[in-house]
């Protein structure tokens, strides 16, 4: 399989290395799994064109990816403020103006990222996959055969032997919690879309896809997991449904309006249960 080095002039077809994250996320004519999830959540917001500003958690997530997958780039581009403890300080604000908020880290942030990286490489399975020969942050572009929609995907690590690896930070690596996280953030859709994209570009099936989860808080427990076939099939059905919705809204843009139906809203279930309990106890007069 060929992975071309991006030079800024090639047609967006196939896999590319050395493509900046900002360019990847702003390629016209291609949508990603994240785009489809945003569309599913709110067509009106998606087609409004307003892009969400990265939160601190997102910035740390990007930084840990860079530290683990592209350590030389991390050392070259990130600014560590070892003597600054608060983002309200002038030193931090000045550094942000000069380097951009996404590239400036407090000492505490850097220590946390360093510890997460050490935990990841301290896990035998995670280290084995990350050290396999391949490409980090490789960007893929293809067109869906059924709909013609341009799709893009970006492997954290794609090995030459055909294994995809994705790194995620999380609150808990307990299997039940990971299952909820996969469902909440659509990681099953991600695996299906990436696998189908790999097949379209290479003509081969992806041999395996592994998620490396690392907890944000010390001591940063790590879990390496893969999804069962039925979960991936659910993800494939969901992302293909999103593609159909995308085409519908492209054809009928007025349908992505701010005119949702009038809804009846109730108090949270716990509040209603408390109310019922008080009634039963004779506590409300």
Q: Read off the pTM.
A: 0.89
- Please report the pLDDT score of residue 284 as a whole number: 56
Q: Could you count the other beta carbons within 10 Å of the beta carbon of residue 144?
A: 18
Residue 109 pLDDT > 80, yes or no? yes
The secondary element (H helix, E strand) that includes residue 5 is strand 3-5
Mean pLDDT value across the chain: 93
**Res. 167 pLDDT band, cuts 50 70 90:** very high
Distance CA 219, CA 213 (A): 13
DSSP states along 199-234: HHHHSS---EEEEEEEESSTT--EEEE---HHHHHH
**Res. 285 pLDDT band, cuts 50 70 90:** low
- Please report the pLDDT score of residue 3 as a whole number: 95
Task: Please state the rounded mean pLDDT for residues 198-203.
Answer: 97
Domains and CATH numbers, the chain: 3-48+126-255 (3.90.320.10)
**Res. 246 pLDDT band, cuts 50 70 90:** very high
Task: Please state the rounded mean pLDDT for residues 48-70.
Answer: 85
Task: Please state the rounded mean pLDDT for residues 123-131.
Answer: 97
Can you read off the two tokens belonging to residue 158? 């794609």
Output the CA–CA distances (angstroms, integers) from residue 228 to 47, 113, 173, 210, 274, in the order listed: 33, 30, 17, 11, 39
Contact 133, 104 (CB under 8 A): no
Of 69, 79, 71, 67, residue with least CA distance to 106: 79
């Amino acid at each position: 399989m060929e992975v071309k080095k991006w030079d800024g002039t090639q047609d967006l077809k196939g896999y590319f290395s050395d493509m900046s994250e900002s360019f990847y996320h702003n390629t016209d004519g291609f949508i990603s799994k994240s785009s489809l999830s945003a569309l599913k959540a709110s067509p009106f917001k998606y087609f409004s064109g307003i892009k969400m500003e990265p939160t601190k958690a997102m910035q740390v997530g990007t930084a840990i990816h860079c530290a683990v997958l592209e350590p030389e780039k991390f050392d070259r581009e990130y600014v560590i403020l070892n003597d600054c403890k608060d983002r309200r300080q002038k030193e931090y604000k000045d550094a942000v103006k000069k380097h951009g908020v996404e590239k400036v880290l407090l000492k505490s942030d850097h220590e946390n990222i360093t510890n997460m990286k050490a935990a990841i490489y301290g896990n035998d399975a995670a280290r084995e996959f990350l050290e396999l020969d391949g490409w980090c942050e490789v960007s893929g572009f293809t067109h869906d055969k059924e709909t013609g929609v341009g799709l893009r995907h970006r492997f954290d690590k794609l090995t030459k032997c055909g294994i995809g690896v994705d790194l995620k930070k999380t609150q808990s690596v307990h299997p039940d919690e990971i299952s909820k996280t996969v469902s909440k953030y659509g990681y099953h859709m991600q695996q299906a879309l990436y696998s189908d994209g790999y097949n379209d570009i290479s003509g081969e099936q992806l041999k395996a896809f592994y998620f490396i989860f690392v907890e944000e808080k010390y001591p940063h427990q790590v879990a390496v997991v893969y999804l069962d076939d039925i979960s991936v099939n659910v993800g494939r059905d969901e992302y293909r449904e999103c593609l159909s919705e995308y085409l519908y809204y492209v054809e009928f843009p007025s349908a992505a309006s701010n005119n949702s139906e009038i809804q009846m809203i109730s108090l949270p279930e716990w509040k209603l249960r408390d109310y019922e309990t008080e009634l039963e106890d004779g506590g409300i007069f």
